[in-house]
């Protein structure tokens, strides 16, 4: 299958890494659905990429709203009949960095898991039937190195002091879900992997970071376009496999 015949959907794509992931997939020839909670925001972002001549389409999709997810899946099914690539990019960071690990509010935990975990699982479940209709389906779950339990337990690791518990544990759950789903899909044409985009300068990081947004989108795009010999159930940053 050539990239020009592929259909992709990227959640949380109105800005930052998600928007850049849409840009790079579309630049590779993939017809890419740019999903955002607000249809107006999604349309505005899609128009900016269409103005560059890129094959981008806006779609409303709130990963925390079951009706919104169902409506988006129905829209894609009617318009395209299948889906080749799902990039679960939508995510939030609700931890208060001024509080201790044990002091984070239950509300921040609930809001974080509603988007980062339950929303991701719900979207995947809704679009999995369409991915099974693809000749080579790909699921990319945008996680974080901060979800690595192994590195959080190692005092010598670079993330040892980055304790944002609700966010970190939500990404650990994303990693665990990736492994479980990869097992189910092991004999299918669908590949599912988790990725760490890097420490990217985005709004979530208040502009801090070591990488520009285009570099931050690169790993998602690589795994979205990987061939039949690509990995299944891995955790990657660029070409490097990360510890769970």
Residues annotated catalytic, as ranges: 167, 171
Q: From its phi and psi, is residue 235 left (phi > 0), alpha (psi between -120 and 50) or beta? A: beta
What is the C-alpha radius of gyration for the chain, rounded to an integer number of angstroms?
17
Contact predicate 232/188, CB 8 Å: no
Q: Encode 52-85: b = buried (16+ Cβ within 10 Å), e = exposed.
A: eebbbbbbbbbbeeeebbebbbeebbeebebbbb
Instruction: Compute the distance between CA of residue 126 and CA of residue 123 in angstroms, rounded to an integer.
Output: 5
């Amino acid at each position: 299958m050539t990239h020009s015949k592929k259909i992709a959907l990227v959640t949380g794509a109105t800005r930052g890494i998600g928007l850049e992931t849409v840009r790079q997939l579309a630049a590779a020839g993939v017809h890419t659905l740019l999903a955002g909670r607000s249809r107006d925001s999604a349309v505005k972002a899609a128009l900016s990429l269409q103005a560059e001549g890129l094959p981008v389409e806006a779609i409303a999709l709130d990963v925390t709203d079951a009706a919104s997810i169902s409506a988006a899946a129905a829209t894609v099914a009617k318009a395209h009949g299948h889906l080749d690539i799902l990039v679960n990019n939508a995510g939030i960071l609700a931890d208060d960095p001024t509080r201790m690990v044990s002091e984070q509010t239950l509300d921040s935990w609930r809001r974080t898991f509603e988007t980062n975990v339950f929303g991701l699982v719900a979207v995947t479940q809704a679009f999995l039937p369409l991915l099974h209709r693809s000749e080579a389906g790909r699921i990319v779950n945008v996680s974080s190195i901060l979800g690595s339990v192994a590195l959080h337990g190692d005092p010598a690791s670079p993330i040892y002091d980055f304790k944002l518990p609700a966010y970190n544990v939500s990404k650990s759950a994303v990693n665990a879900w990736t492994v479980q789903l990869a097992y189910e899909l092991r004999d299918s044409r669908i590949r599912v992997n988790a990725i760490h985009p890097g420490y990217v300068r985005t709004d979530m990081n208040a502009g801090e970071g070591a990488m520009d947004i285009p570099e931050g989108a690169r790993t998602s795009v690589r795994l979205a376009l990987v061939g039949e010999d690509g990995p299944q159930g891995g955790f990657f940053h660029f070409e490097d496999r990360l510890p769970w």
